[in-house]
Copies of this chain bind each other. A is one copy, B any other.
C-alpha cells in the first residue's frame, strides 16, 4: 500500500481581538484553519507521534500570535502563521492557512453591528520555496432586476425553459484572486476588487451567468496589476416568475458556474 498524500491540521479556530485606543476601539473577528503537509508518514503507518504537532498546539499558536501588533489583515496574520509553522518545524514542507474575517460595522467608538453575511477570506500557501497569497470573498450575495437575458441555448428533448430577454439574476458569489506581489495594501486592494465585482455584476449587459462571470474576471485582471489569476464561482440562485412582477425565490436546485481566468 502507498500513501499518496496526507495533510492534517486544525479547523474553525475562532478568534476576536480588540485594538484599544483611548477614544475608540477597533474590533476584529475571524475564523482560522491550518493544514500541514510534511514528513508525517510514520504517524499514519506506525502510530509514531514523535513528529506530530498536536492540532491543539496549532490552536494555541493562533491565539498566541493574534496579539502581534503587525496583525491588521487576514493576509498579514496568515503570513505570520506560515512563517512560524515553517520556521519552527523543519519537517513541515507546506502550511496552508485559511482565514475568514467576519465583517462588523462600526456604530459608535466602542460598539458594532454585524455586517453582511459574506466573509473576507485569505489563503496563504507557504511552501519552502514559494509562498502564494490569495484573497477573496465567500457568500457575497448580489441581485439585479434588469439587463439580464438568457436566450439562444440548446433546445432539445430535455428543454422546457423558455428563452427570456429580462430576468432576475442573483448569486452568492465566491471569488479568490492570487497576488503576484507582496507589497500590496491588503485592505485597499480587497475593497477595490469588491467594487469591481459589484459594479460589473450590476452594469454588465448580461447574456448569461457565464458571460457576466467572464466580464467580472476581465475587469479585475485589467485593472488590478497585482492580481494575476482569479477563480470565480457563481451559483445561479433562481427567482422563478409566478406572475408579472411576483417571483418565488428558491434554494434548490441551483445552477453552478465556475471559471479560473489568468493574464
**Interface residues of A, Cβ cutoff 8 Å to B:** 1-20, 25, 27, 29, 33, 35, 40, 43-61, 63-64, 66-67, 88-89, 104, 107-108, 110-118, 140-147, 150-154, 156-161, 168, 198, 201-203, 206-211, 213-214, 217-218, 221-222, 229, 235-236, 239, 242-263
With a cutoff of 8 Å between Cβ atoms, the chain B residues found around residue A49 in the complex are 150-153, 207-208
Assess the A110–B50 pair: CB atoms within 8 A.
no
With a cutoff of 8 Å between Cβ atoms, the chain B residues found around residue A209 in the complex are 8
A-B contact list, 21 entries, CB within 8 Å: A1-B218, A1-B222, A9-B255, A11-B253, A11-B254, A13-B252, A14-B252, A27-B143, A44-B259, A46-B211, A49-B150, A49-B208, A50-B152, A50-B153, A52-B154, A55-B255, A55-B256, A63-B242, A64-B157, A67-B245, A114-B140
Assess the B57–A112 pair: CB atoms within 8 A.
no
Number of copies of this protein chain within its complex: 4
CB distance from A113 to the nearest CB of B (A): 6
CB distance from A165 to the nearest CB of B (A): 12
With a cutoff of 8 Å between Cβ atoms, the chain B residues found around residue A153 in the complex are 49-50, 52-54
Assess the B60–A235 pair: CB atoms within 8 A.
no
CB distance from A213 to the nearest CB of B (A): 7
CB distance from A14 to the nearest CB of B (A): 5
Q: Contact check: which of B45, B64, B115, B263 meets A2 at CB < 8 Å? A: B263
Assess the B116–A160 pair: CB atoms within 8 A.
no
Instruction: Compute how far the CA of A117 lies from the CA of B247 in the bound complex, rounded to whole angstroms.
Output: 21
Instruction: Compute how far the CA of A261 lies from the CA of B6 in the bound complex, rounded to whole angstroms.
Output: 9
> Of residues A46, A211, A244, which shows the largest number of chain B Cβ atoms within 10 Å of its Cβ?
A211
Assess the A16–B168 pair: CB atoms within 8 A.
yes
Instruction: Compute how far the CA of A12 lies from the CA of B218 in the bound complex, rounded to whole angstroms.
Output: 29
With a cutoff of 8 Å between Cβ atoms, the chain B residues found around residue A58 in the complex are 158
> Of residues A9, A140, A261, which shows the largest number of chain B Cβ atoms within 10 Å of its Cβ?
A261
Assess the B17–A245 pair: CB atoms within 8 A.
yes
Assess the A43–B210 pair: CB atoms within 8 A.
yes
- Knowing A2-B263, A203-B108, A253-B11 touch, does A63 contact B246 (C-beta < 8 A)? yes
Assess the B156–A57 pair: CB atoms within 8 A.
yes
CB distance from A203 to the nearest CB of B (A): 7
With a cutoff of 8 Å between Cβ atoms, the chain B residues found around residue A89 in the complex are 154
CB distance from A52 to the nearest CB of B (A): 4
Instruction: Compute how far the CA of A48 lies from the CA of B154 in the bound complex, rounded to whole angstroms.
Output: 11
